[in-house]
């Protein structure tokens, strides 16, 4: 359902009228020296009614690709005439971002603290405010992430692929890989799914680095989702014609011993079970041991640190599952021929 389609739309006490673009600094309390901390949010409300979509980034403070994605999204001409309301939050974890760290000052991971509580820890309060002021006022969500420190991710959507509406959003985005990943306790994805709000998560690149092609896929992906849910009225599709790889699960290949690790494969490569992915040796090049794929699939994440302890996660492989592979081109044709109103495709959401 649209939360408040034709009446007032208020975030943190600020009313946004139809046709307005408003930047709001949501109050997040203060730090030790009494300096106020604000979470900057931009709200674009179209003249016409439609769904409300939030696009959030940097829940983990060192994952910055989403900031650049949102910057470029806001420069898109397609946003000049939208139906409904777009809420963008370039930096959710403002504390961690300014310290270039994943966590908050209380050493908690924000994505394990949703839905949060008003009087909980600092992290829990931030999660609560985000849920109350942003997520629960939205009909759909896209959360932007980056690989963890020293890990690089191939562009991928993580979503509940067993929910038709969420899978449709994931397909519409147009990233080369979709992973059906489990909900983690305390994640934003779990909290919004309990509130019946379809949300997808886009992952690309490495912490504290920009990934140019992944940023482009991200910008186009958000516009594609906005088109899918009727916020942008345009027949033009910008989605990739390349194949989309949909996997039910993924798992990590771990280091068989400690040593110096050389990567022998690239992100996005399809590998067979038993294929060599890397090699580990001692600092003299002796005692070489090969790191091999434990299953067939696509490499969607690689550890960029050339040092490994036995058991360290080195290669993230999405399971190969032939019947779930779909062609991007076939999907585009299907979308163009689907002239049903958005309402009939998202019955839970009355437009």
User: Which stretches of the chain bind Zn ion, using CB under 5 A?
Assistant: 60, 63, 145
| Closest CB to Zn ion among residues 153, 331 | 153
What are residue 139's DSSP bridge partners? none
114: tokens are 């949703």
Helix (H) or strand (E) holding 15: strand 14-16
Query: Minimum distance from CB of 21 to Zn ion (Å)?
Result: 28
Query: Minimum distance from CB of 212 to Zn ion (Å)?
Result: 19
| Closest CB to Zn ion among residues 103, 295 | 103
Query: Minimum distance from CB of 191 to Zn ion (Å)?
Result: 15
Residue whose entry in the numeric block shows the structure tokens 């016409």: 48
| Closest CB to Zn ion among residues 63, 68 | 63
| Closest CB to Zn ion among residues 63, 168 | 63
What are residue 326's DSSP bridge partners? 244
Residue 314 backbone phi and psi in degrees, to 5: -110, -45
Residues 6 or more apart in contact with residue 234 via CB below 8 angstroms: 78, 227
Query: Minimum distance from CB of 281 to Zn ion (Å)?
Result: 32
**DSSP symbol at 275:** -
| Closest CB to Zn ion among residues 109, 279 | 109
| Closest CB to Zn ion among residues 182, 282 | 182
Q: Is 239 helix (H, G, I), strand (E, B) or coil?
A: coil
Query: Minimum distance from CB of 178 to Zn ion (Å)?
Result: 17
ω into 61 cis (within 30 of 0): no
Bridge-based pairing state of the strands 21-30 and 140-145 = unpaired
| Closest CB to Zn ion among residues 60, 108 | 60
For the beta carbon of residue 74, count every other beta carbon within 10 angstroms.
16
205 Ramachandran zone, left/alpha/beta (phi>0; psi -120 to 50): left
| Closest CB to Zn ion among residues 145, 349 | 145
| CB contact at 8 A, 191 and 131 | yes
Query: Minimum distance from CB of 242 to Zn ion (Å)?
Result: 25
Query: Minimum distance from CB of 74 to Zn ion (Å)?
Result: 21
Query: Minimum distance from CB of 66 to Zn ion (Å)?
Result: 9
Q: What own/partner pairs with CB < 8 Å and gap ≥ 24 does 211-215 have?
A: 211/65, 211/146, 211/152, 211/155, 213/155, 214/65, 214/155, 215/65, 215/68, 215/69, 215/72
Query: Minimum distance from CB of 63 to Zn ion (Å)?
Result: 5
| CB contact at 8 A, 178 and 223 | no
| Closest CB to Zn ion among residues 173, 346 | 173
Q: What own/partner pairs with CB < 8 Å and gap ≥ 24 does 156-164 have?
A: 156/202, 156/203, 156/204, 156/300, 156/318, 157/200, 157/201, 157/202, 157/203, 157/221, 158/189, 158/200, 158/201, 158/203, 159/199, 159/200, 159/201, 160/189, 160/193, 161/246, 161/248, 163/193, 163/198
């Amino acid at each position: 359902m649209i939360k408040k389609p034709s009446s007032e739309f208020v975030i943190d006490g600020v009313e946004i009228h139809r046709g307005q673009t408003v930047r709001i600094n949501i109050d997040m309390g203060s730090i030790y020296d009494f300096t106020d901390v604000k979470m900057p949010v931009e709200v674009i409300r179209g003249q016409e009614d439609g769904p409300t979509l939030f696009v959030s980034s940097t829940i983990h403070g060192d994952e910055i690709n989403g900031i650049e994605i949102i910057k470029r999204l806001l420069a898109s001409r397609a946003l000049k005439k939208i139906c409904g309301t777009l809420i963008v939050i370039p930096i959710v974890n403002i504390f961690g971002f300014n310290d270039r760290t994943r966590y908050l000052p209380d050493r908690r991971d924000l994505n394990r603290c949703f839905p949060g509580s008003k009087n909980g820890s600092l992290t829990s309060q931030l999660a609560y405010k985000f849920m109350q002021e942003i997520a629960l006022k939205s009909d759909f969500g896209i959360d932007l992430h980056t690989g963890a420190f020293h890990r690089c991710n191939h562009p991928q959507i993580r979503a509940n692929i067993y929910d038709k509406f969420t899978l449709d959003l994931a397909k519409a985005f147009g990233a080369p890989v979709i992973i059906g990943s489990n909900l983690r306790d305390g994640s934003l994805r779990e909290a919004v799914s309990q509130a019946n709000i379809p949300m997808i998560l886009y992952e690309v690149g490495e912490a504290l680095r920009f990934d140019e092609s992944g940023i482009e896929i991200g910008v186009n992906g958000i516009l594609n989702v906005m088109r899918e849910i009727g916020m942008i009225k345009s027949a033009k599709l910008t989605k990739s014609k390349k194949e989309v790889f949909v996997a039910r699960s993924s798992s990590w290949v771990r280091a068989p011993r400690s040593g110096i690790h050389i990567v022998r494969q690239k992100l996005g490569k399809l590998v067979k079970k038993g294929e060599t992915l890397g090699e580990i040796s001692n600092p003299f090049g002796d005692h070489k041991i090969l790191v091999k794929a434990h299953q067939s699939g696509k490499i969607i994440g690689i550890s960029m640190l050339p040092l490994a302890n036995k058991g360290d996660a080195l290669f993230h492989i999405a399971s190969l599952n032939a019947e779930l592979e779909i062609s991007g081109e076939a999907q585009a044709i299907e979308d163009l021929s689907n002239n049903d109103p958005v309402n009939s495709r998202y019955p839970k959401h009355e437009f």
